């Protein structure tokens, strides 16, 4: 599995005259773990949807290793190397954990056995191999979050977009997920861009943070600088969050 760089160049998106994303630009280096944060409604998931091809930007461009993704369908962008998770975990509850992940692998192979074999490799990587025969309804919330990541990872992405995969987890569960993502990045080199409200995880994982508010980038840089930025404190973190 290889890593890819991502360049977001001046993307904007409006819905019924409301500007949800306004001229957003940032870069993610190949092999990096980077966070995109901001308050609810700031436009973060809309940015993800434009990267993944759900929405076409009204203006601007999205480049994966220098090649534009704009105008491609979500399946074509997946084939290009972009994998993503969703805020609401919705596995196929009638399938086993292994079968759920194998569905992701069928994005690049027509061989069902090859898809199953790769699914089991992914499950071992994420510590879910002992759950492969279970149904999603029979595993814990943290394991379902890991399953969501496994399904995306099975598509063999070069960059993984993680949308609030640690929401609702207890601190110990969050720490487990942080360890999973560190290991994933170390073992595969995959680039990770995460949307996350859990600052415990953001600070532990990210070397670089981009902050958006009202659809605009208001701050960018290393965590220790961003979390002291007055605009960030005012709009999102609150003074208590960094003391």
Residue 88: its pLDDT value, please? 82
Confidence at 235, pLDDT banded by 50, 70, 90: confident
Kindly report which listed range (101-105, 121-125, 237-241) carries the lowest average pLDDT score: 237-241
65-78 tens-digit pLDDT: 999 999 999 999 99
Least confident span in 5-19, 32-46, 226-240? 226-240
Cα separations in angstroms, 87 against 23, 30, 71, 168, 200 = 24, 24, 24, 11, 18
The number of angstroms, rounded, from the C-alpha of 2 to the middle of its chain's C-alpha atoms is 16
User: In whole angstroms, how far apart are CA 19 and each of 13, 23, 54, 126, 216?
Assistant: 6, 10, 17, 38, 10
pLDDT at 237 over 60: no
The whole model's pTM is what?
A: 0.90
Mean residue pLDDT of the chain comes to 92
**CA 120 from chain center: how many Å?**
21
Q: Could you tell me the pLDDT band of residue 90, with boundaries at 50, 70 and 90?
A: confident
> How much is the pLDDT for 20?
96
pLDDT value of residue 238: 55
Cα 229 versus chain centre, distance: 24
Say if residue 216's pLDDT is above 80.
yes
- The average pLDDT across 199-217 equals 93
Helix (H, G, I), strand (E, B) or coil at 217: strand
Question: In the chain, what are the domains?
Answer: 1-81+159-170+190-243 (3.40.50.300), 87-156 (no CATH)
Predicted confidence (pLDDT) per residue in 130-145, tens digit: 999 999 999 998 899 9
Distance between CA atoms of residues 234 and 224, nearest Å: 16
Please state, for a pLDDT cut of 90, what percent of the chain lies above it: 79
Residue 129 exposed, middle or buried by CB count within 10 Å (0-12, 13-18, 19+): middle
Of residues 239 and 58, the one with the higher pLDDT is 58
């Amino acid at each position: 599995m290889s890593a890819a760089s991502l360049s977001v160049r001046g993307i904007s998106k409006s819905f019924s005259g409301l500007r949800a994303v306004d001229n957003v630009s940032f870069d993610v280096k190949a092999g990096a773990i980077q966070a995109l944060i901001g308050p609810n409604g700031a436009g973060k998931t809309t940015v993800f949807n434009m990267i993944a091809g759900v929405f076409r930007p009204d203006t601007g461009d999205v480049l994966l290793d220098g090649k534009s993704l704009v105008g491609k369908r979500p399946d074509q962008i997946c084939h290009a190397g972009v994998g993503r998770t969703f805020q609401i975990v919705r596995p196929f509850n009638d399938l086993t954990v292994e079968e759920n992940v194998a569905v992701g692998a069928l994005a690049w192979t027509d061989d069902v056995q090859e898809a199953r074999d790769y699914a089991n490799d992914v499950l071992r990587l994420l510590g879910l191999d002992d759950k492969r025969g279970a149904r999603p309804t029979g595993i814990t919330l943290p394991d379902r979050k890991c399953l969501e990541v496994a399904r995306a990872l099975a598509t063999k992405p070069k960059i993984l977009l993680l949308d609030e995969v640690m929401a609702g987890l207890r601190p110990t569960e969050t720490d487990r997920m942080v360890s999973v993502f560190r290991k994933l990045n170390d073992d595969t080199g995959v680039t990770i861009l995460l949307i996350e409200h859990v600052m415990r995880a953001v600070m532990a994982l990210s070397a670089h943070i981009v902050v958006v508010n009202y659809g605009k980038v208001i701050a960018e840089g290393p965590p220790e600088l961003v979390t002291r930025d007055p605009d960030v404190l005012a709009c999102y973190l609150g003074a208590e969050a960094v003391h």
